[in-house]
Structures are given as structure tokens and as C-alpha cells.
Amino acid sequence: MKFLRNLLAAILGTIIALFLILIIFIGIASAFESNNKTKVEDNSILTLKLDTPIADYVPKGDSPFEELFKDEMPLALPAIINAIENAKTDDRIKGISIQVLEPMGGVAQIQAIRDKLVEFKESGKFITAFADVYTQKNYYLSSVADSIYINPVGIIDFHGLNTERMYFKDFQDKYGIKMEVIRHGKYKSAMEGFLDDEMSEANREQTESFLGAIWSELLEDIGSSRGKSLAELNTIADKAGTRNNQLAIENGMIDDVIYFDEYNNKLKNLIGVDKDKDLKKISLKNYISTGKGRINSSAKDKIAVLYAQGDIQYGKGNENYIGQESMIKALKKIREKDNIKAVVLRINSPGGSALASDMIWREIELTKAEKPVVVSMGDVAASGGYYIACNADKIFAQPTTITGSIGVFGAIPNVKGLADNMGINAEQVSTNKGPSYSVFEPMSQEFHDYIKVQIDNIYTTFVNHVSEGRDMSYEAVNEIAQGRVWAGNEALEIGLVDELGSLDDAIVAAAELAEITDYKTTSYPRYKKDFKDAFSLNPMMKAKTQNIIKEELGVENYKVYQELKSVLEMEGIQARMPYTLKID
């Protein structure tokens, strides 16, 4: 009896202690919030650093601890766009200073921000840029500025785009670990790195094509701002025309070489502040925190923006990956709400599970029968990402979006060689003669054929969905499918998208289809977290863990680790982008 009393007392004490800790944390969070109220002062300059990750969607959390770690949270792309839009008419903001080292966003995201900065300049306010070092992505963003400055010992990287693909065939042969791959589509190079030691001609063809299309798009924007032709910019890239700052000035790529204190003096001069006075700056993050990351509206009609970001995986889904459960739940909720008149599906995904993709496709089909559905593509909407887009009433892509990749594959690990080398033998016993698979035995032709039938069926279904959604013949879709990847401006030419434009353009189109003029947007999916998730700082902890692993392995080894990890995490037949794509 005494034991039970002590046990109950211990449990009760633990519960009380946890409750008190919770109250203390809530108090600390509230104190942080009240002490960090940001005000926008008159005669201020808005500074853009973009030194935290940019996500299309950052759902508002219900954890009382998020305020404590807000500096670690991603910035939402719509909030950035809205902040720049609000700054256009904010009399307290006199101009924008771009002070980016390396923007933490994809090419299409940076293009969307740059396009909004072009609009900002049309208001008559200034934009200037300064950096110690200009990477290509940073220079592309900064080239929108009226004047571009660099540190005297800084460098400008401007050499053209490149990407890299790793091949593991020799590694597999050496260590006895291999991936058994079954695929459909001559361009479906998702697993090419496990089948060969070098890039296929088909893969090289598609990679050169979409890289060239994206590079031309970037050059057009840079050329428009700097008064240069594509030929001039390509010559500068080919001949390393920014290898020193004086040459960069002569080639019209930057305006001056100055130190940061001198740059601040130029900003003071632009807004009429004496050199001995303080310069008033407000960071983009703080400006958003004042409420300027929203466009206020009292409209009753709404357009739902449904965000699909991350890999597509069978399951629930959250802000980091797309699961059919959360997407289906959100679409049903959207259909039920009478004041939601249309849907914009914002996709930033390389694809993933073919099964989950098809389930989401079906729910979009049901929604489209009741309300207009418009797709807005972000950095990537490929394979499964295109699967869930293809039946929309209208599809928008950024010119630099990566899309297409209409193809299917399956990959299963096999450790027969490793087991033999280690003296391990596995024996199987079955009740029937149907095809089966063991990672300790070579894949039989019967099992290969069994999986190939499933893959071919899914590929046929995929192409049929695209054919119906895009009003094209099966043959026409199959010709541009085969797993081939396209840039957004290429996809427009071949009929995979309807228009080039931003998320805002897609929202306007959705309003036109719904025949409404006064409206506001509302975001989905809504993610609810249970009590234990309130204590979870998963996004922040995950980022820190990845940084530790990267430091220990080194950058090149970390790339190998990421590639292998992503493959091992795949489950089921995949409608996925050819490979992890990083454009430098």
C-alpha cells in the first residue's frame, strides 16, 4: 500500500512539475513577444538578407515555444512578397538595401522575389545592393538594384550554371550492395547512378536543355537591369569577366568597390541623413513581424491556397512532406466551405509515392467538379509533383521551374554480394510458387517482370491523366514524357503548362475563373500538433543535426550520404524527379 502511495505521489509530482515548466516557458515566450515589439521608424531602409531558409508555406504553429526560436524558423515566400508589396506604399520605408551573402531559396523562389523588387522600383523608391561576395544566385537577385557594390577584396562568381550527378556502380560492385531498378521512360534517370558509371546521352541531353533554358532566363533578367545583351553576358561568363573587381566594373557588372561603412554613407546620402547620424534600418524579418507580411482585406469571398511542398509520401503529411491524408482532408474542407470560391494548388515537390500521388489527383478531380482549381508551380513540380498538377483548370509555372519528369520507377536494395563476402547465407521457405524477393538473393526474372507490369500500368495511368487533363493525345504526351525533365519556359512551349507567372498570377486567374473580384486568400493544409509536438523543435533540431553531419563528413561526402539516404527512404513505386538537383 505504501508503495502505491509513493508511486502515485511520484506521478502526481511529475505532472505538477511538467505543468509548472510549461507555465514558465509560456511566460518566457510571452515576455519575449512583449519585449520584442518592432516599430517601423520614419526614414527607414528595408534590408534584405535572406539568410534563413525560404519555404513556400510556413504554417502558423500552436506551440507556445516557437517565439523563443523564431530566428530559426523559415521565412514564408508569400510573406516576403507581401512585405515588399507593402513597402512600396509605406511612407516610412524610403528604399531597400540588398545585403545577401547566399540566398536560402531555390531559383524560382529567388526569381519571384526579384520580380516583386522590379515592381518596387516602379514606385520610385531606390534599391541598392552590397555584398562581400557575390554567388551567381546572389548576383542574379542583386542585379535588380540601381547600384551594385562589392567589398574591395570580394569576388563575383559568374560562370554559367552547372549541376553534378553521382554514379555508384563501381561502389556497388566493390562493396556488394546494389539497387535493383525497374523503370519506365528513357529519360527516367532517377536511378541511373546505380546502373552505370557515367551519364547516359539521354540524361545529358535533358540536363543541358533545362539548364540552358534556366540560364537564358536569368540572363534576360540580368540583362534587362544592367543594359546588356545575352551575348555580352555569355561572353563575360565564358571569359571569366568578373575574375577581378576592376574587370567587373569595366564589363558593367558592378558599379563600385567600397567598404561597408562607405556603403552606409551612400545610403545616408540617399535618404538625406548626415554622416554623423545613425542610419535607420529594419530587417525583412522584423518588418514582417509588424504585420507587413500580410495583405489585409475585409472581403468575405476567399480563395484557398493549398500548399504541397516536399517529397510525396504515403501517410499523414506535414509542412515538410506531402501526405495524401492531410491533402485529402484539406480538399474536402475546401469543398465544404461556401465562401471559398476557388483553389490554388501551390506545388514545390520532386514527387515520390505514385500511390499517394494518384490519391491526391483523385481528390483534386472531385474538387474541380465543384470549384475552379489552378496550379502554381514553385522551384520544382516534377514527376509526382506534375501528377497532382495535370488535371487543374489552369497551370502556371515560373520560367525557372523544373517540371515534367512523367515517368515511373521502382528500386529495391540488394546485399547478396556483401552477404557472400561476409559469409552470410539466407535460406527462404515459401508456401507458393509466386514471385517473391529477398535482399540476400539476386532478383529473379519472374519478380522483375512482376514489378515491371505494375510500373508500366502506373506509367500508362500517369500518361492518361496528363492526356485528359491537358487535352492532348496519349501519343503526344508519351512523346514528351519518358521521364524527361523540362524547365518552365520549355514546358509552356510543349503544352505542359498554360502560362508563366507567379503565385499571385495564379490567384488572379483563379478569381477570374470563379468570377469574383473582391476576395482574400486562406492557407491550407492546417496541421494540428499533439502535446508532445509542442515540445518538439524538430525543424530547428533537424537543421542543426544536418549541419553537424555535414561538418563531420565534409561537403562532398555529405552529398553522397544525402543521395544514398534519399534512395533508402523510398517506399513503393515512385513517380519522382530523376535525382536530387542542385544548380550552381
pLDDT digits (tens, 9 = 90+) for 529-562: 554 454 444 544 555 555 555 555 554 554 555 5
What is residue 186's predicted lDDT score, i.e. its pLDDT? 63
- Report percent pLDDT > 70 for the chain: 81
Q: Is the pLDDT of residue 205 over 80?
A: yes
Q: What is the DSSP letter of 290?
A: I
Q: Average the pLDDT over each of 139-153, 175-189, 207-221 and give the range with the smallest value.
A: 175-189
Decide the pairing of beta strands 408-414 and 178-184: antiparallel
Is 584 domain-assigned?
no
Q: Is the pLDDT of residue 64 over 60?
A: no
Is 20 domain-assigned?
no
The residue from 264, 292, 320 where one domain ends is 292
244/321 same-domain check: no
The residue from 254, 274, 292 where one domain ends is 292
CATH number of the domain enclosing 64 = 3.90.226.10
Q: Average the pLDDT over each of 162-166, 180-184, 316-320, 365-369 and give the range with the smallest value.
A: 180-184
Q: Give the chain's domain count.
A: 2
- pLDDT grade, residue 156 (50/70/90)? very high
51/69 same-domain check: yes
- Report percent pLDDT > 90 for the chain: 56
What is residue 137's predicted lDDT score, i.e. its pLDDT? 94
269/344 same-domain check: no
Q: Average the pLDDT over each of 33-47, 149-163, 439-453 and give the range with the smallest value.
A: 33-47
Is 170 domain-assigned?
no
Is 449 domain-assigned?
yes
- Give just the sign of the alpha carbon dihedral 7, 11, 17, 20: negative
Question: Phi-psi bin for 428: left (phi > 0), alpha (psi -120 to 50), beta?
Answer: beta
Q: What is the mean pLDDT of the chain?
A: 85
309/268 same-domain check: no
Give the C-alpha separation, 34 to 378, whole Å.
35
482/417 same-domain check: yes
- pLDDT grade, residue 385 (50/70/90)? very high
Q: What are phi and psi of 101, to 5 degrees?
A: -95, -55
Is 71 domain-assigned?
yes
Decide the pairing of beta strands 126-131 and 147-150: parallel
310/362 same-domain check: yes
Residues in contact with 408: Cβ distance below 8 Å, sequence separation at least 6, in sequence order: 183, 184, 185, 188, 354, 455, 458, 459, 462, 483, 573, 574, 575
Can you read off the three cell numbers belonging to residue 87? 513597402
What is residue 419's predicted lDDT score, i.e. its pLDDT? 80
Angle at 230 between CA 228 and CA 236, to 5 degrees: 75
CA distances 259 to 154, 262, 264, Å, are 10, 5, 9
Are the CB atoms for 107 and 76 separated by under 8 Å?
no
**Which one-letter amino acid corresponds to residue 473?**
S
Is 537 domain-assigned?
no
315/461 same-domain check: yes
User: What is the DSSP code string of 370-431?
Assistant: TS-EEEEEEEEEETHHHHTTTTSSEEEE-TT-EEE---EEEEEEE-HHHHHHTT-------S
Is 559 domain-assigned?
no
Q: 571 vs 103, which has greater pLDDT? A: 103
Task: Report pLDDT digits (tens) over 67-77.
Answer: 544 556 789 99
Task: Report pLDDT digits (tens) over 246-297.
Answer: 999 999 999 999 999 999 999 999 999 888 888 999 999 999 999 998 888 8
353/310 same-domain check: yes
Q: Is the pLDDT of residue 452 over 50?
A: yes
509/394 same-domain check: yes
What is residue 441's predicted lDDT score, i.e. its pLDDT? 85
Q: Is the pLDDT of residue 392 over 90?
A: yes
Burial label for 82, CB within 10 Å (0-12, 13-18, 19+), is: buried
55/134 same-domain check: yes
- pLDDT grade, residue 23 (50/70/90)? low
Cell 505542359 locates to 496
460/522 same-domain check: yes
- pLDDT grade, residue 48 (50/70/90)? very high
Q: Is the pLDDT of residue 570 over 70?
A: no
Give the C-alpha separation, 539 to 233, whole Å.
39
Q: Which helix (H) or strand (E) holds 551?
A: helix 538-553
The residue from 292, 314, 335 where one domain ends is 292
Give the C-alpha separation, 412 to 441, whole Å.
12
The residue among 335, 337, 334, 315 whose CA lies nearest residue 326 is 315
Give the C-alpha separation, 206 to 163, whole Å.
12
Angle at 87 between CA 84 and CA 89, to 5 degrees: 130
- pLDDT grade, residue 328 (50/70/90)? very high
CA distances 540 to 68, 73, 102, 562, Å, are 12, 7, 19, 18
What is residue 534's predicted lDDT score, i.e. its pLDDT? 47
Are the CB atoms for 396 and 376 separated by under 8 Å?
yes
392/502 same-domain check: yes
What is residue 301's predicted lDDT score, i.e. its pLDDT? 94
Is 583 domain-assigned?
no
Are the CB atoms for 362 and 355 separated by under 8 Å?
no
- pLDDT grade, residue 120 (50/70/90)? very high
The boundaries of the domain holding residue 66 are 44-159+240-292
